[in-house]
Amino acid sequence: MSPGESEDLLVGFETSDDAAVYMLGDQAVLLTVDFFTPMVDDPYDFGRITAANALSDIYAMGGRPLTAMNLLAMPCDLPPEVTAEVLRGGADKVREAGAVIVGGHTIDDKEPKYGLSVMGVCDPAQVVRNVGARPGDVLVLTKRIGVGILNTAIKQGLETEESQRDVIESMAHLNRAAAEAMVEVGVNAGTDITGFGLAGHAREMALGSGCACEIELAAVPVWPGVVEYAEAMVRPGRTADVIAFLDPFVDWGPAGFTWKGILADPQTSGGLMMAVAPEKAGALIAALEARGEEAAVVGRMVAGESGTITIV
């Protein structure tokens, strides 16, 4: 499929960016859509997490969400209070983001699905893309990884939603403050970590930026229990596909079987990963921490074959 052509379209889907960017006068308008099947049983939490994930695409590009439209597929025989809780969770998260829900569309479906189409705005000079990183840039990550593995542990009855409450709250946590810090300091590239895992999105950034990337294994922050579950093959089914896709481009180095599964773990509403000039890295980490956000330096961009990853 070819991207649409317009003098006002600044960013389409040619580099797999998080949102489209369309110029409307002197304002950059950001457009995105995302939806999920349930990753947790609680319908209110499902709504919150899904909304946070959709809003994250706007934040990943340095924008501010303004409006959202619900996308809802539910079995008609599902109790109406379940659907109401999903929508309430989404509405509460959109309200927290300072945006408004302006409508949507609902269909009958055997498998529940929920998501949002979100519109936001950004100063054209401050749009953050997943391309533009330079050799020497430091990679800063917010939010620990491994939520796909822990969601699988819940589905297999190895954990409960209460035992993983911190993980659920992390998935429902907006990347709003992280985006504010990112724009305040200024970065060369940024994206959010979602379905292709940390390594997959690092590959995307390196490829679009025309450089290579090193990920420092010991610096990657993970949730408690993730390493043990990954070793026991408690993983989402999609992990194997992500690893197979990445294998030709990644020198896994010290990342054996277990850590391959963690670095390729599909994330739900993950954090932001930003490529920042080394002289600004300290300021970015300070700005994130001042806003209560986690921040870890997980690697760097380096000169090398475009889109290749080395785990060190």
Cα Rg of the chain, angstroms: 19
Name the one residue in this structure whose structure tokens are 């785990």: 311
pLDDT, residue 4, reads 62
Q: What is the mean pLDDT of the chain?
A: 95
User: What structural domains does the chain harbor?
Assistant: 9-126 (3.30.1330.10), 138-311 (3.90.650.10)
pLDDT, residue 1, reads 42
Write out the H or E segment, with its range, that includes residue 260.
Answer: helix 257-263
Asked if the model's pLDDT at residue 155 lies above 80, the reply is yes
Contacts of 221 (CB under 8 A, 6+ apart): 141, 144, 145, 294, 296, 298
**Chain segment 122-147, per-residue pLDDT in tens:** 999 999 999 999 999 999 999 999 99
pTM attached to this predicted model = 0.94
Question: Which residue type, as a one-letter code, is found at position 13?
Answer: F
Phi, psi at residue 173, to the nearest 5°? -75, 130
**Chain segment 88-110, per-residue pLDDT in tens:** 999 999 999 999 999 999 999 99
Distance set, CA 236 to CA 104, 114, 117, 246 (Å): 30, 20, 26, 16
Neighbours of 40 (CB within 10 A): 21
Check if the beta carbon of residue 236 is closer than 8 Å to that of residue 194.
no
Name the one residue in this structure whose structure tokens are 């489209």: 20
